[in-house]
Structure 1
Amino acid sequence: MIDNQYGIGFAIHDGVDPRAIRRNEIIGSKKAGVVALLRDRMVSGDLSAPGAARVYRDVDISDNLIS
């Protein structure tokens, strides 16, 4: 992803299976590298920061290159 507001957004709501966001290269995201979305609304801070994604136990966010 290059020069977007958010690099990667993932859905959080009942019925969503566990998921992994790994080994991505995100370049120039203006607001955040990885965020959680509830419908069309961002509901988290930047989850690409170390330890920030612990709130979402069913999501593995790791080994991403954010620049």
Structure 2
Amino acid sequence: MEEEFAGLAAKRTAGLATDVIQGKTTIAEVDRSFYISPCEIEEWGNEGLKKMVNALRAIPLGVTFSSW
């Protein structure tokens, strides 16, 4: 049960972060609707950015997406 809740929380977090990045919602709207502090949302963004940078570093030089 706890794992199921954690999975739902992760999906909600990812969905909210994606909506903010895409401009579908604002940080203020998320704060009012879900009682999530703007500081916490900013941490999500920073964590996501670090993961994206690490993912790009993992791609070997000279490899293009068309060769995958």
Bucket of the pairwise TM-score, normalised by the shorter protein? under 0.3
| Bigger Rg, which one | 2
Relative to the length of structure 1, the TM-score reads 0.25
More helix by share: 2
Relative to the length of structure 2, the TM-score reads 0.25
Higher relative contact order (CA 8 A, sep 6+): 1
